[in-house]
Amino acid sequence: MPLADKLVSSFLAFELDINIQSPVHNIRTDAIKSFEKLGFPNKKLEAWKYTSLNKVLKEDYTLFSKKKNVLDFKNVKDFFLDNTESYKLVFVDGFFDSFLSQTSHDHVDVCIMSAALSKAKYASIIKKHFNKSIEKSDSLSQLNTAFSKEGAYVHIPKNIILEKPIEIIHFATGNESALMLQPRNLIVIEEGAQVEIVESHQSLTDNPIFTNSVSEIFVGKNAHLDYYKIQNDRLSTTLIDNTYISQERDSNAKIHTFSFGGKLTRNNLNYYQKGSYINSTLKGITIIDDKQLVDHHTLVDHANPNCESHQDYKGIYSGSSTGVFNGKIIVDKIAQKTNAFQQNNNILLTDKSTINSKPQLEIFADDVKCSHGCTIGQLDQDALFYLRARGIPRKEAEALLTYAFANNVLESVSIPALKSKIKKIIANKLGVKLGFDL
């Protein structure tokens, strides 16, 4: 049975397992209908022109893992931040793992969606925010909504500055021969609050994993968000990451996406500016090889005056890998004095690697500053010779230049342990031991 049909027909079984009386369930029911109508996206859609899910959809995925696997911390410790105190929300094959997690219910809620969707104390927040920013025509988001049940739930009340970062990790243990996961995250940062979040998806075996994730993030007035996505999964995995950010006035939201792993990764990153004097930052480093594909689709919707957005994506492609960058910026008629910047720089290290880069600017206001730039090139041969003439071997010289190329994206990482973790991943990815610290 095609995966879409299997999903639709399994919705009944899914309903046996949840409270169908809750108001959220109407949203799920509508969403499955919508998915049934839309189906999975295909290459005929402009937004999916370069990325085909055909192969991914052919696997026979288990939709709900049957048993809870227990993970030993010492076996997965490398996937957490080193020497950093943090809140932790850990999910294993779609189930919350309370042993590996460190939640909070004190002054802030760092807990799980299944609780938030069912308990009365969360009802008002859920009512206000759940499924409010989703793009209704996006079939994958609808699919996730239909099966929304588990994921991270974070609520930071007014003026709270969270000292410790929150780590959200979704593990897959391979106890099913192929598994589909649909985590649903809701993050609400109230006025004046501040938080740092690090999210990753990590498979522990080579069994195929198909993750269709949705995160809704609300950033209140004058609130600050630093969100880091580490995409360094195994080559047997596919990740569709749908992230929706709504920002209130004077807020600041930064998302860094580090894409190194996975067979196919699609990031749909959508920013909606709901007030004035908002700052939105989207940065990314993509380093892939073999037959990997990473597709960044970004949207910044400037709907109010005096706001800014900054996009800076760097890509380094080798093997026969493919990159896609599609950056859409909409500036509404009333969004005067908008400053919108977009930069996408790429290096192709091999003849067989590909990058499809497309800026998409729709500007309806007349007093705005919008700029976009895109470069595609090779490593600078003169620079390479310069480094080698000082005794640095070719491979390390290339790594050093690659590093330098990506450096300004790394510079803005605010968690030191995360920065060094990413540097290590990059060095690993480039196949060198780097004896320097940038």
Partner 1 sequence: MLTIDNLHVSVEGKPILNGINLDVRAGEVHAIMGPNGSGKSTLSSVIAGNEAYEVTKGDIIYKNENIIELAAEERANKGIFMSFQYPVEIPGITVTNFIKTAINSNLRARNEKEMPANKMLKKIREKAELLEIDSRFLSRSLNEGFSGGEKKRNEIFQMAMLEPSLSILDETDSGLDIDALKVVANGVNKLKNKNNAVILITHYQRLLDYIVPDYVHVLHEGKIVKSGGKELAHELEEKGYDWIK
| Number of residues located near partner 1, criterion CB under 8 A | 29
Query: Which two three-digit tokens encode residue 96?
Result: 């919350």
Span of 63-71, 122-130, 255-263, 389-397 interacting with partner 1 by CB under 8 A: 389-397
Whichever of 73 and 385 has its CB closer to partner 1, that residue is 385
Counting other chains too, the contacts that 16-23 makes at CB distance below 8 Å and 24 or more residues apart are: 17/64, 17/149, 18/149, 19/118, 22/117, 22/118, 23/127
Helix or strand holding residue 114 (H, E): helix 113-118
* Residue 405 engages partner 1 in binding (rule: CB under 8 A): yes
The SS3 call for residue 121 is helix
Q: Are strands 322-331 and 293-302 parallel, antiparallel or unpaired?
A: parallel
* Residue 380 engages partner 1 in binding (rule: CB under 8 A): yes
Where does 20-106 show beta strands of DSSP type E?
87-92, 95-96
* Residue 371 engages partner 1 in binding (rule: CB under 8 A): no
Least CB distance to partner 1 at residue 399 (A): 10
* Residue 385 engages partner 1 in binding (rule: CB under 8 A): yes
Distance separating alpha carbons of residues 238 and 355, to the nearest angstrom: 19
Distance separating alpha carbons of residues 176 and 146, to the nearest angstrom: 22
Span of 26-34, 154-162, 323-331, 397-405 interacting with partner 1 by CB under 8 A: 397-405
Give the full edge-to-edge strand order of the sheet including 339-348.
Answer: 95-96, 87-92, 166-172, 194-203, 224-231, 252-259, 279-288, 308-317, 339-348, 369-377
Span of 18-26, 27-35, 274-282, 380-388 interacting with partner 1 by CB under 8 A: 380-388
* Residue 401 engages partner 1 in binding (rule: CB under 8 A): yes
Q: CB–CB of 27/145 below 8 Å?
A: yes
How far CA 416 is from CA of 198, 291, 313, 411, 423, in Å, comes to 12, 31, 21, 10, 11
Q: Which position among 33, 337, 388, 419 is part of the footprint of partner 1 (CB under 8 A)?
A: 388
Of the CA atoms within 13 Å of residue 411, those in its CB half-sphere come to 9
* Residue 419 engages partner 1 in binding (rule: CB under 8 A): no
* Residue 397 engages partner 1 in binding (rule: CB under 8 A): yes
* Residue 389 engages partner 1 in binding (rule: CB under 8 A): yes
Q: CB–CB of 63/93 below 8 Å?
A: no
Least CB distance to partner 1 at residue 347 (A): 13
Least CB distance to partner 1 at residue 391 (A): 4
The SS3 call for residue 152 is strand
Q: Which position among 32, 403, 415, 430 is part of the footprint of partner 1 (CB under 8 A)?
A: 403
Q: Which position among 89, 204, 400, 415 is part of the footprint of partner 1 (CB under 8 A)?
A: 400
Distance separating alpha carbons of residues 344 and 372, to the nearest angstrom: 8
Q: Please list every residue from 204 through 263 that binds partner 1, using CB under 8 A.
A: none
Span of 63-71, 200-208, 319-327, 404-412 interacting with partner 1 by CB under 8 A: 404-412
Whichever of 23 and 373 has its CB closer to partner 1, that residue is 373
Least CB distance to partner 1 at residue 339 (A): 23
Whichever of 27 and 387 has its CB closer to partner 1, that residue is 387
* Residue 393 engages partner 1 in binding (rule: CB under 8 A): yes
* Residue 408 engages partner 1 in binding (rule: CB under 8 A): yes
Distance separating alpha carbons of residues 102 and 88, to the nearest angstrom: 5
Least CB distance to partner 1 at residue 351 (A): 18
Q: Which position among 6, 158, 394, 424 is part of the footprint of partner 1 (CB under 8 A)?
A: 394
* Residue 373 engages partner 1 in binding (rule: CB under 8 A): no
In the complex, the residues that contact partner 1 under the rule CB under 8 A are 380-383, 385-394, 396-397, 400-401, 403-408, 434-438
